[in-house]
Amino acid sequence: AQKRYSGLRELPATTSCGTRIELFMNAGLMADLPSMESSGAEGVGLFRTELQFLTRTRVPRRSELAALYSRVMDAAHGRPVIFRTLDIGSDKVLPYMKPQDEPNPAMGWRAIRVGLDKRGVLRMQLQALIRASVGRPLHVMFPFIAEPSEFHAARKVLMEELAREQRLGHGMPEDIRVGTMLETPALAFAPLSFFRSCDFVSIGGNDLKQFFFAADRENELVRRRYDSLSEPFLSLLDQIIARCDEAGVKLSFCGEDAGRPVEALTFAALGIRRLSMRPASIGPVKHLLRQISLEDLRAAIGRTRAEGGSVRRTVTEFLAQL
Ligand code: PEP
Ligand code: MG
């Protein structure tokens, strides 16, 4: 599939009506980075940092992490890499972490909740990120933020670590951008001041959808039951897009739906200008984006939305006419 779209690699994802959509890739390993060249990704919109923690028998050392993060940034050749801090929960049990007995681990003590309660690991990871990005930009994203106070607290930890590095006389990143994942419905309704305080926002559609529809993303009985293109979910996306537009903050979508063509095009039509996906999805999504008028698609979607239900058929039919 990559070969089929290789002619598009160097071309931008610009629609026929002239709207530029940025296509980024998701990654989690050094071995993912060569896909940046082959897919034509403009950056890494989500670097999941869990794997290095899950595959060890002890907490990785700061120096090991710094070396890895640095190699990842080297391999991106100046294109942005957004590192998400550890999203570990009691479902992803670290061998060296005391297991928690939680009835609903996906809604339990995970991600930034652990990071803020046990700051040692968060601090160490942030130190590694700072050291890896001396003299170049650092993009940090915090996972599973449900309220603004959690984002502010996490960013404060980052600022403290930057100050500490400076006191120690170490080099500094050239530029620091701090963003949030938007994975909990509550955060979509945070005040404008919160969105203004973020350098970027990325919708984690996998979690956002599971909590919006109350349908476990791991449970085969329910995980495909609800449609991301149904009116309630699109209304939620509208809310987030409007908040981010008003706050002037960069918004992206980095859940699995971003790499599904029908979903990706719908999100673009709603107003999302950056999508981050599996590298193999970039070619097919770009191929379609370059052929469509987002204005026409938005009009078609609007007519269906007025009646409620899902726009899936409308978008699929729109694409079939190309
Ligand atoms: C998401 O929730 O959509 C997301 C990108 O994070 P993860 O899949 O790692 O939970
Ligand atoms: Mg998530």
Expressed in angstroms and rounded, the spacing between residue 46 Cα and the centre of ligand 1 is 9
Closest ligand, as measured to the CA of 51 = 1
The answer to whether 173 and 136 have CB atoms below 8 angstroms apart is: yes
Contact 40, 12 (CB under 8 A): no
Residue pair 28/48 in contact (Cβ under 8 Å)? The answer is yes
**Which residue is closest in CA terms to ligand 1's atom 6?**
204
315: its two tokens: 């978008």
Using CB distances shorter than 6 Å, the residues near ligand 1 are 46, 48, 87, 183, 204-207, 254-255
Is pLDDT at 79 greater than 90 in this prediction? yes
Q: Give residue 166 CA to ligand 1 midpoint distance, Å.
A: 33
For ligand 1, the distance from its centroid to the CA atom of residue 314, given in whole angstroms, is 27
**Of 24, 26, 48, which is best to mutate to test ligand 1, by the most ligand atoms within 8 angstroms of its C-beta?**
48
Residues in the chain: 322
Q: Is the pLDDT of residue 3 over 90?
A: no
CA of 304 to the centre of ligand 1 (A): 29
Residue pLDDT, tens place only, 193-243: 999 999 999 999 999 999 999 999 999 999 999 999 999 999 999 999 999
| Bridge partner residues of 22 (DSSP) | 274
- Per-residue confidence (pLDDT) for residue 99, from 0 to 100: 81
Summarised one tens digit per residue, pLDDT across range 301-310 is: 999 999 999 9
Within 13 Å, how many C-alpha atoms sit on residue 59's CB side?
A: 14
**Angle between helix 312-320 and helix 294-305 axes, rounded to 10 deg:** 150
Name the residue among 317, 256, 255 with its Cα closest to residue 292: 317
Instruction: Name the residue type at position 120.
Output: G
Average pLDDT, the chain: 96
Residues 264, 257 contacting (CB under 8 angstroms): yes
pLDDT digit string, tens, across residues 15-69 = 999 999 999 999 999 999 999 999 999 999 999 999 999 999 999 999 999 999 9
The alpha carbon of residue 232 and the mean position of all alpha carbons in its chain are separated, in whole angstroms, by 21
Model ipTM? Answer: 0.99
- HEC string of the chain? CCCCCHHHCCCCEECCCCCEEEEEEEECCHHHCHHHHHHCCCCEEEEECCHHHHCCCCCCCHHHHHHHHHHHHHHCCCCCEEEECCCCCCCCCCCCCCCCCCCCHHHCCCCHHHHHHCHHHHHHHHHHHHHHCECCEEEEEECCCCCHHHHHHHHHHHHHHHHHHHHCCCCCECEEEEEEEECCHHHHCCCHHHHHHCCEEEECHHHHHHHHCCCCCCCCCCCCCCCCCEHHHHHHHHHHHHHHHHHCCEEEECCHHHHCHHHHHHHHHHCCCEEEECHHHHHHHHHHHCCCCHHHHHHHHHHHHCCCCECHHHHHHHHHCC
Residue that the structure tokens 């981010």 belong to: 244
